[in-house]
Structure 1
Amino acid sequence: MHLLLMNSGLHFATLALLCFLLSTMGGQANTELPDVLRGSYKGSFAYKTISERMPVILTKVIDLFHREKINIGNQYGDAAKEKLKQINGSLSELKSTMQRNKPLQPLAGAAADVPLWNRLLEEQWVDGEPPVWFDAPWLFVECYMYRRVREILENSGELRDYDYFGQQKRDTLEASIAAIELLGEHLLETVADPAALSGQQVKRAFSDFIGMSLWANKNDLSISAGAHVSQEASPLVQLVELNHRVLVNDSEQVFAQLRRLRDKRDVRIDIVMDNAGFELFSDLCLADLLTSLGIAQRMSLHIKAHPWYVSDTTPADVRHTLQHMQSADGKPALRRLAERWQGYLDAGTWVFEMDTFWTSPLPFSRMASEAPELYAHLQAANLIIFKGDLNYRKLLGDRNWPHSTGFCASLEGFHPAPLVALRTMKADLVSGLAPEREALTAGDPNWMVSGEWALIQLCECSDTARGGDEL
């Protein structure tokens, strides 16, 4: 087994033992693991999501197609316009089956992931009965809804590439432009002369930009059911107050990891990204800092291949963001950053990557068996940063872990490389949370789902020697 070399022999030996024990947990029987979250538990956030938020999201997609009928006809042609009635009929039927708790139906079509989805759907049958919306795992049915919407558009032909969440994401970006400009100016000032920065200044810069990447995750359209959200206040001014709400803060340990990586060559850091808009911009600022400081020679930025969870980043969102920055009148910092980031992309220093696994309902503990090429690719990273609530849920298998369960243990053997989760809390699950830290939320009954509390959690375990020396 391979592990990362730590600073001290004691830490090294302790981590080695811990990772060995964790690596054997994957063989536990499922009956020994906590149950996954389900909508059958009334009063849970899963129940509220399936009964309230998900129908609203579908209704807004239906309304969009009614409202944009003429524009769609002008852009995609009369054949696409004529298919809108059929599309909305299918979407309405999907919404009805959800609200009536009917069985989930197999996917149809020629997309490469259809066989996987249908196999996973068969896994959900219990005692000869098909899965229904409120009894099947929440993670599965929520992903299933978004995949079914995609299926309806895929099978329409002309509108297969239409982003039914695109305008909401573009509106959110535009509404956040003042905050984006401020953060961009701060980044350019910070990295103007990286060699001149003291160790303390480097640490402060890292604290600022990992904090911005963390708290930008509050802007999530799937949580607001597509209602408008934006970052309008100065993000840097807010950081001091917001950081008091980080219940687990492993940023010191993450910084120590990065400091060690600065002395290595050919370092690759991955970010598994979440939302478009202000969060995408904040994540790219963090990527720029890591690149400019010479910590990472390569950045692999993992995004979704198609519309997902309303605001998740797709290739079109990346293109739109860079174009919007390039055309921002009176905002020279944004133009400079757009040119700079395009240069990173052209040189191959930054690469945006997609994989169907990211839009599957699978927990990450199954990646090695279900997507071995992606798992091997992540093993080549020195550090992986997982953004947002959905990625966190998949890290934890969407299980109802006792809150004090160790974060590494709750990953169920998912250790491709050292990883850090940056998450504002918008689902009722968590691990690695000490009781005294949880006590800070005593006055907030919605602390697990409001997005007002956050986590920076590091797992140093790695089943590859890519990030350090071999044991």
Structure 2
Amino acid sequence: MRGQEKGGCLVVPRVPLPPPICSDKPGTWAYDTITRRLRTDILARIWRENDFFDADAVASLQALSAELETAASCVLTPIPNDGGPDCETWNSVILSEYIGKYYTWLTAPYCLVEFYFYRRLMAAVHWFRDRRDPFQKQKELGVQSSLEVMFGLLKRLSDIGRVGNDQAKEKVELVSFLFLSLWGNRLDLSLWPVAQGTEQGEETSHRKLVEFVARASSESDKLLVNDSDRVFQYLYSTLFGTETKDDPTSRRVDIIVDNAGLELFCDMCLAHYLIASGIADQVVFHLKAYPVFVSDAMEKDLWYMIGYLEEMSTDQSEHCRRILQRWRLYFTTGQWRTKEDYFWCQPWAFWEMPDAIGQDLRDHSLLVILKGDANYRRLLGDREWTKTTAFGDVVSYFPTAVCALRTLKSEILCGVDRKQIDYAQQKDPRWLVSGEWAVVQFYH
């Protein structure tokens, strides 16, 4: 899907494209990532945490490190033929404009180079031969260190009723789960009510949930855009209004997942609410096909987390165990599904998504919830947009309604009011990359 109309839908942004972000400007996050972080943070930790590398893998990792050390002059080379089903796509399509044309690690587009690093890493460690994740220990530690928070949240997943006509009550519930998926344990979860099971308890729970949402939204000065009300109104209208998809029987919500561990757990809490409330009849989790960006989630990471929670739940309440059983049942019945795809591991802008993915979302998905920084970068094509450019002008190509839940960890942004930008710059010189600021942006 490149620069033309398909099925009557505009498949590029409706405003002119600015240049892609590159990594050749000292002082930028992109420059620091390619010249320092990939080598001294990520590769160095891989060496410390893994002992399964054979001599060939060691040599390949050393060569990759040497290239990064001379990133300014080292040109990009093809992906080694490692048996990966995406190898031909990388060398013949993705890299075709850059191989043999003197593009270095710094002068090629930043998004391409960062994904290229992880694909080179997979070749170096023989991922497609051995299926051993060099980030596995970090992912498992992320789950194990979050057990207390996870079980605390399971206790707060009350027996959610079907959505009714009380819009104020329903909005509070949906927004609370959106904020949970966005912020995770950065929120004051002590304000989130524990399931009560009585009418009086339900009233108390609702009152506490209102307080939780108020604290997370109106009192949060680091939420630069908050379209959560618009997300609710859109989903509510699909239940009681005129919003429909081509398939009127489908009420599917898709989540393009970012990180494994606690963040994925919070995404699953949101999915639990969507199914239990009747807002959706199916939730699809879109996951990476191989390890990228250290903590990005694959299907194996999701099942590891569920299995570990079940193993550790013997000392927890019956309510916690019942919720975990229900999650298993959601997968068994098809109400929850997982989809891995190599597209999510590649640097394409989302307006270049394969026809099969785009058509499926257009025809069957009510809403795509897009998580995290790397997915947001690709939603915007990782280009030098003016930060005040309207979000809808950039993502107008998207095949269905989309909600981006993102904490800022790179220097790309659009759809933010100038006053908010000035405020953030005054409060935090690193506001674009610190992960402390966030947006909830919606377009339909």
TM-score range, shorter chain: 0.7 to 0.9
Tell me which of 201, 212, 215 is aligned to 2:169. Answer: 201
Secondary structure in 1 matching 2:54: helix
* In structure 2, C-alpha distance between the alignment counterparts of 1:240 and 1:95, rounded to whole Å: 47
The CA deviation at 1:62 is 2.3
Counterparts of 1:57-206 in structure 2, within 5 Å, are 57-65=42-50, 68-69=51-52, 84-101=54-71, 102-107=74-79, 108-118=81-91, 119-124=93-98, 129-154=101-126, 157=129, 159=130, 161-187=131-157, 189=158, 191=160, 193-194=161-162, 198-206=166-174
Matched, 1:344 2:318: no
Tell me which of 168, 189, 195 is aligned to 1:235. Answer: 189
Secondary structure in 2 matching 1:386: strand
TM, length-normalised to structure 2: 0.84
Secondary structure in 2 matching 1:354: strand
Secondary structure in 1 matching 2:125: helix
Gap runs ≥5 in structure 2: 1-7, 192-211
The CA deviation at 1:85 is 2.3
Tell me which of 20, 36, 44 is aligned to 2:20. Answer: 36
Q: CA 1:156–1:91 in 2, change beyond 3 Å: closer, same or farther?
A: farther
Q: CA 1:235–1:382 in 2, change beyond 3 Å: closer, same or farther?
A: same
Q: What is the root-mean-square deviation in Å for CA atoms of aligned residues? A: 2.3
The CA deviation at 1:135 is 1.1
* In structure 2, C-alpha distance between the alignment counterparts of 1:173 and 1:232, rounded to whole Å: 16
Q: CA 1:428–1:372 in 2, change beyond 3 Å: closer, same or farther?
A: same
Gap runs ≥5 in structure 1: 1-19, 70-82, 217-230, 461-471
Counterparts of 1:432-443 in structure 2, within 5 Å, are 432-441=415-424, 442-443=426-427
The CA deviation at 1:94 is 0.5
Paired residue type of 1:175: S
- Cα deviations by residue, 1:363-383 (Å, 9 ceiling, x for unpaired): 11111xxx1111111112111
Secondary structure in 2 matching 1:248: strand
Secondary structure in 2 matching 1:362: coil
The CA deviation at 1:196 is 7.9
Q: CA 1:113–1:27 in 2, change beyond 3 Å: closer, same or farther?
A: farther
Residue 291 of structure 1 corresponds to 275
* In structure 2, C-alpha distance between the alignment counterparts of 1:314 and 1:390, rounded to whole Å: 15
Percent sequence identity is: 31
Q: CA 1:27–1:454 in 2, change beyond 3 Å: closer, same or farther?
A: closer
Counterparts of 1:292-311 in structure 2, within 5 Å, are 292-311=276-295
Q: CA 1:134–1:402 in 2, change beyond 3 Å: closer, same or farther?
A: same
TM, length-normalised to structure 1: 0.80
Q: CA 1:37–1:236 in 2, change beyond 3 Å: closer, same or farther?
A: farther
* In structure 1, C-alpha distance between the alignment counterparts of 2:422 and 2:128, rounded to whole Å: 51
* In structure 2, C-alpha distance between the alignment counterparts of 1:385 and 1:100, rounded to whole Å: 38
The answer to which of 262-271 and 308-317 deviates more is 262-271
The CA deviation at 1:241 is 5.1
Q: CA 1:24–1:392 in 2, change beyond 3 Å: closer, same or farther?
A: closer
Q: CA 1:318–1:25 in 2, change beyond 3 Å: closer, same or farther?
A: closer
Secondary structure in 1 matching 2:360: helix
The CA deviation at 1:194 is 4.0
Tell me which of 361, 364, 382 is aligned to 1:378. Answer: 361
Matched, 1:353 2:339: yes
Q: CA 1:382–1:110 in 2, change beyond 3 Å: closer, same or farther?
A: same
Paired residue type of 2:152: L
Matched, 1:363 2:349: yes
Residue 23 of structure 1 corresponds to 10
Residue 6 of structure 1 corresponds to none
The CA deviation at 1:23 is 3.4
Counterparts of 1:3-14 in structure 2, within 5 Å, are none
Q: CA 1:267–1:236 in 2, change beyond 3 Å: closer, same or farther?
A: farther
The CA deviation at 1:24 is 8.2
* In structure 1, C-alpha distance between the alignment counterparts of 2:361 and 2:126, rounded to whole Å: 29
Q: CA 1:292–1:110 in 2, change beyond 3 Å: closer, same or farther?
A: same
Secondary structure in 1 matching 2:337: strand
Q: CA 1:64–1:403 in 2, change beyond 3 Å: closer, same or farther?
A: same
Give yes or no for contact 1:262–1:296 (8 Å, CA) kept in 2.
Answer: no
* In structure 1, C-alpha distance between the alignment counterparts of 2:181 and 2:13, rounded to whole Å: 31
- Cα deviations by residue, 1:338-373 (Å, 9 ceiling, x for unpaired): 210110000011100011110111111111xxx111
The CA deviation at 1:436 is 1.6
Secondary structure in 2 matching 1:256: helix
- Cα deviations by residue, 1:302-330 (Å, 9 ceiling, x for unpaired): 01121111101111111111111211232
How many residues in Structure 1 have an aligned counterpart in Structure 2? Answer: 398
Give yes or no for contact 2:387–2:416 (8 Å, CA) kept in 1.
Answer: yes
Residue 390 of structure 1 corresponds to 374
* In structure 2, C-alpha distance between the alignment counterparts of 1:195 and 1:257, rounded to whole Å: 14
Counterparts of 1:253-332 in structure 2, within 5 Å, are 253-263=230-240, 265-328=249-312, 329-332=314-317
The CA deviation at 1:439 is 2.6
Residue 454 of structure 1 corresponds to 438
